[in-house]
Chain A
């Protein structure tokens, strides 16, 4: 059968595009308004951080690894430090483990609020975006009080944490969390009830539980498809076995479920922070470790705000790693993104929904290609 015109058109979105905050290229195949195929290209940002890590000492690498992602910097350094500590075969002091959880959860709240603002902006609800980002300042203030920096905190160091907390600081953190909690509860109410949010996100970007598991999706994207999987619970890495918390899931399987899961996770993170502050053990915050790591291999993983973050370090006994591998949650979620964009049946993906679907996995393509950048937009 031949026709005088092609029905299927190619539409490139990116690498620079007003609807994209990230340098990625989506080559969409569209039939009218409907997306029928997608090809991804994330090669615009590769600057070879893994290679650079082989030429730097373990301590220099701490600051290189931190710059893979501005928002997940706490998770990145935590994963790296866990891998190096595991090469040395050393446990770090209990107080440092609890302080690491506090820093990690504050950065998770920060990341989720940032994402929520971006998601609100993507669906055209900019008032919501402004309010959320104003409240995000609370978490940035807490991070500054804890580590001295708002974004790139340099809080985790090999063998512990860099700064101790005082009673005065702990009460400031408690106060900040108390201020934040009612705001997040209010945002959750809005996200559940507001008609414009529901219309733009419900039934959009469907990822069935079977697809989520098959594509090895991670983090809130996986949990919003009803699968109870969280590295903090499955593979506890920093005294998480001593902290009671719930793994948040939702059965919605759509972009709306991903909003609700992240909002509930913020509330859960606030509880985790409160618990860690009230049960903070006394003692040292740093276990000094030699500059050279013993020969061997180590693998570590952490539940970063966007999902499972994995580091692999191979050591040849010198002061520089032989190989340092980073696997970020965005890369893990790309196959799931492709399934969302090409889902068929009741919900054929409309081209206008593409930015919302893309935003719903909280992508960070610079993380995926491992390069320095700061912030989310």
Chain B
């Protein structure tokens, strides 16, 4: 049986490099940590039984790229790391969590995050003729097709 939110928060409090832990709801926890501590925090979570990789999300926050790794089957812990905007780089966790391998390839293709030590360098989500160095989910990328118009634009 997996631990509940309070137990998980207690187990993670004081871990090296953890900047913030907050419970979003009964079964959602957000853990923010530094880039250098990321691998250690993920390893610790995997040791606590959070070894089911739900998803990996990259968000371009303009002042940096946020990498979110969502773990756990009943209680979901999200590990959040802020990466440098110009050259986002972080160590791969696919050796600790094999389920993260394709997730990391997806984030690499769509947001240009480099995963150090990743076993597979080939493209996965974008086609082979997609230009190098263009990352469609970055905010600087504008799609060629215009968005549909909205009828009214006032406060809703």
* CB closest residue in chain A, given B106: A331
Q: Indicate whether B136 reaches chain A with its CB closer than 8 angstroms.
A: yes
* CB closest residue in chain A, given B101: A335
Given A86-B25, A323-B59, A369-B125, is A50 in contact with B137 using a C-beta cutoff of 8 Å?
A: yes
Q: Indicate whether A123 reaches chain B with its CB closer than 8 angstroms.
A: no
Given A39-B122, A60-B148, is A290 in contact with B156 using a C-beta cutoff of 8 Å?
A: yes
Taken together as a complex, chains A and B put the C-alpha atoms of A322 and B98 apart, in Å, by: 29
Given A43-B126, A60-B150, A327-B55, is A215 in contact with B74 using a C-beta cutoff of 8 Å?
A: no
B97 / chain A contacts, CB cutoff of 8 Å:
216
Q: Indicate whether B47 reaches chain A with its CB closer than 8 angstroms.
A: no
Contact mask A267-301 → B, CB, 8 Å, 1/0?
A: 00000000000000000000000111000011101
B55 / chain A contacts, CB cutoff of 8 Å:
310, 312, 325, 327
A235 / chain B contacts, CB cutoff of 8 Å:
27, 73-74, 76
A335 / chain B contacts, CB cutoff of 8 Å:
98-99, 101-102
Q: Indicate whether A367 reaches chain B with its CB closer than 8 angstroms.
A: no
Given A292-B155, A299-B70, A335-B102, is A42 in contact with B125 using a C-beta cutoff of 8 Å?
A: yes
B53 near A51 (CB under 8 angstroms)? Answer: no
B150 near A46 (CB under 8 angstroms)? Answer: no
Taken together as a complex, chains A and B put the C-alpha atoms of A298 and B110 apart, in Å, by: 21
B143 near A51 (CB under 8 angstroms)? Answer: yes
A229 / chain B contacts, CB cutoff of 8 Å:
52, 73
Given A50-B137, A214-B98, A235-B76, is A55 in contact with B57 using a C-beta cutoff of 8 Å?
A: no
Q: Indicate whether B86 reaches chain A with its CB closer than 8 angstroms.
A: no
Taken together as a complex, chains A and B put the C-alpha atoms of A291 and B152 apart, in Å, by: 11
Taken together as a complex, chains A and B put the C-alpha atoms of A14 and B109 apart, in Å, by: 21
Residue in B57, B98, B153 whose beta carbon sits within 8 Å of that of A215 in the complex: B98
Q: Indicate whether A332 reaches chain B with its CB closer than 8 angstroms.
A: yes
Say whether chain A's binding surface is mostly helix, strand, loop, or mixed.
Answer: mixed
Q: Indicate whether B87 reaches chain A with its CB closer than 8 angstroms.
A: no
A57 near B143 (CB under 8 angstroms)? Answer: no
* CB closest residue in chain B, given A217: B99
A299 near B78 (CB under 8 angstroms)? Answer: yes
Interface size grouping (class) on chain B:
35 or more
Number of interface residues, chain A, beta carbon within 8 A: 44
- In A39-76, the 8 Å CB interface with B consists of 39-44, 46, 48, 50-52, 55-57, 60
- In A310-325, the 8 Å CB interface with B consists of 310, 312, 314, 319, 322-323, 325
Q: Indicate whether A105 reaches chain B with its CB closer than 8 angstroms.
A: no
Q: Indicate whether B28 reaches chain A with its CB closer than 8 angstroms.
A: yes
Q: Indicate whether A167 reaches chain B with its CB closer than 8 angstroms.
A: no
Taken together as a complex, chains A and B put the C-alpha atoms of A270 and B52 apart, in Å, by: 29
Taken together as a complex, chains A and B put the C-alpha atoms of A48 and B106 apart, in Å, by: 12
A325 near B57 (CB under 8 angstroms)? Answer: yes
- In B68-106, the 8 Å CB interface with A consists of 68, 70, 73-74, 76, 78, 97-103, 106
A56 near B148 (CB under 8 angstroms)? Answer: yes
Q: Indicate whether A213 reaches chain B with its CB closer than 8 angstroms.
A: yes
B148 / chain A contacts, CB cutoff of 8 Å:
56, 60
A290 / chain B contacts, CB cutoff of 8 Å:
156
A46 / chain B contacts, CB cutoff of 8 Å:
125-127
Instruction: Count chain B CB atoms within 10 A of each CB in A42, A325, A369 and give the residue with the most.
Output: A325
Q: Indicate whether A308 reaches chain B with its CB closer than 8 angstroms.
A: yes
B57 / chain A contacts, CB cutoff of 8 Å:
312, 323, 325, 327
Q: Indicate whether A234 reaches chain B with its CB closer than 8 angstroms.
A: yes
Q: Indicate whether A177 reaches chain B with its CB closer than 8 angstroms.
A: no
B78 / chain A contacts, CB cutoff of 8 Å:
299
B51 / chain A contacts, CB cutoff of 8 Å:
213-214, 216
B126 / chain A contacts, CB cutoff of 8 Å:
43, 46
Q: Indicate whether B37 reaches chain A with its CB closer than 8 angstroms.
A: no
- In B96-154, the 8 Å CB interface with A consists of 97-103, 106, 109-110, 122-128, 136-137, 141, 143, 147-148, 150, 153
User: Which of B's residues lie within 8 Å of A, judged by CB?
Assistant: 24-25, 27-28, 30, 51-55, 57, 59-60, 68, 70, 73-74, 76, 78, 97-103, 106, 109-110, 122-128, 136-137, 141, 143, 147-148, 150, 153, 155-156
A-B contact pairs, 5 of them (CB 8 A): A41-B122, A43-B123, A60-B150, A213-B51, A292-B156
Known pairs A52-B147, A310-B70 / 6 extra A-B pairs, C-beta < 8 Å: A42-B124, A51-B136, A213-B51, A215-B99, A319-B150, A331-B106
User: Which of A's residues lie within 8 Å of B, judged by CB?
Assistant: 39-44, 46, 48, 50-52, 55-57, 60, 86, 213-216, 229, 234-235, 290-292, 297-299, 301, 308, 310, 312, 314, 319, 322-323, 325, 327, 331-332, 334-335, 369
Closest 7 CB pairs between A and B? A291-B156, A216-B99, A55-B147, A327-B55, A234-B74, A216-B53, A325-B57
